[in-house]
Amino acid sequence: MIRDASAKPSVKPTINDIARLSGVSKKTVSRVINRSPLLNEETRKRVEEVIRETGYIPNPQARALALGRNYLIGLVHDNPNAQMVMNAQQGILDALRDTEFELIVRPVDRGSRTMLDDIHAFLQRHRLYGVVLLPPISEDDRLAQLCRDANCRYVRMGSAELDDADHMVASNDRDAVQEATHFLIAQGHKRIGLVTGPSGFRSGAERRAGFEAALQEAGIKLPRGLVVEGNYTFESGVAAADKLLDLLPRPTAIFASNDEMAAGVLHAARVRGLDVPGDLSIIGFDDTPVAAHIWPPLTTVRWPIATMARSAALKLIGDFGDGAEDEPSLFHSSLIRRASVAAPRA
């Protein structure tokens, strides 16, 4: 029988008190707290009612000690695009809401000789329950093996399928960019410049492949000078646009592999007195807030990064929530048409 709330003891109840009042073992109480599926509903409700009546608050340190892991999810990244990292954090925090898990963010240097050792030390030091790996380091199979060896759950995010469904979430970047490029071609553009992502990024390669496939299908040649590498930053977009707009004849449209660089292209065009979209059409990728806030609003490919990150986190904490086993692994990007694209002037 459950005690009346007015009869609560002055000392804080323990897990042993909850077990005694519920008429179950301490292990069963632990399973209720951890949302284990290995319980019948009647037992779960009885224990949860006792917890509510007594005001019992589980000790996360003690639970972490028993688990051998802290209730921490790591976000490990080496990405120059701050907005992309922030969107990923937003998605993960949404997944962790109303749970005992917290997020810890770790930037790394993929060019460092000690990157793998640094990440291994990070996993061991914080005894993470799991990690979400952002591109481009998520594309490194050695890092996935490191997580397996450390007995740390992981999910890899990327622009293509990188692992089995339990360990990755991916988007269809190649198809999405192909659609965006077809849209430019349908407007009448034939001389289209490309600002790629940095070398070594799978996302940059996938987006370039989609761009080139669309041109090839339309029978349009791509001169080498119309392709300039960027670094997913505003400044690199400005520099790339300057190179493309110095060409004679200059391109009538530019596809930039993310919105930050597309904003840089728009800036460079404005400095030269060019009208967008009258003199130059521009398409970006991501659909970050900057895309809708600049003028003209940017046509772009909506990359569901926050949704992907949320799914990645739910895959990690599946034992503690409902429906994580139904989380998708493949996500579709879509073209968002705004005012930065028009037919080229005759």
H/E element holding 158?
A: strand 153-158
C-alpha distance from residue 106 to each of 140, 323, 329 (Å): 16, 28, 23
Contact (CB, 8 A) for 307 and 243: no
C-alpha distance from residue 185 to each of 69, 162, 204, 254 (Å): 53, 31, 21, 11
Half-sphere exposure of 322 (CA within 13 A, CB side): 1
pTM over 0.85? The answer is no
C-alpha distance from residue 111 to each of 115, 119, 268 (Å): 7, 13, 30
* Domains in the chain with CATH codes: 5-58 (1.10.260.40), 66-172+306-331 (3.40.50.2300), 173-302 (3.40.50.2300)
Residue with tokens 């006792």: 50
H/E element holding 106?
A: strand 102-107
Contact (CB, 8 A) for 314 and 327: yes
Gap between the Cα atoms of 56 and 62, Å rounded = 14
Token pair of 194 as six digits: 């490309």
Token pair of 112 as six digits: 């460092």
Q: What is the pLDDT of residue 1?
A: 43
Token pair of 147 as six digits: 């997580």
Sign of CA dihedral 41, 45, 51, 54: negative
Upstream peptide bond of 296 is cis (omega within 30 degrees of 0): yes
Q: What is the pLDDT of residue 62?
A: 56
* Residue 85 CA from chain centroid, whole number: 7
Q: What is the pLDDT of residue 271?
A: 98
Gap between the Cα atoms of 31 and 66, Å rounded = 12
Half-sphere exposure of 233 (CA within 13 A, CB side): 7
Per-residue pLDDT of the chain (346 residues; tens, 9 = 90+): 444 444 444 578 888 888 899 999 877 887 787 666 667 888 989 998 988 898 887 765 555 555 556 889 999 999 878 888 999 999 999 999 878 889 999 999 988 999 999 999 999 999 999 999 999 999 999 999 999 999 999 999 999 999 999 999 999 999 999 999 999 999 999 999 999 999 989 999 999 999 999 999 999 999 999 999 999 999 999 999 999 999 999 999 999 999 999 999 999 999 999 999 999 999 999 999 999 999 999 999 999 999 999 999 999 988 654 445 578 999 999 999 999 999 999 7
Q: What is the pLDDT of residue 324?
A: 53
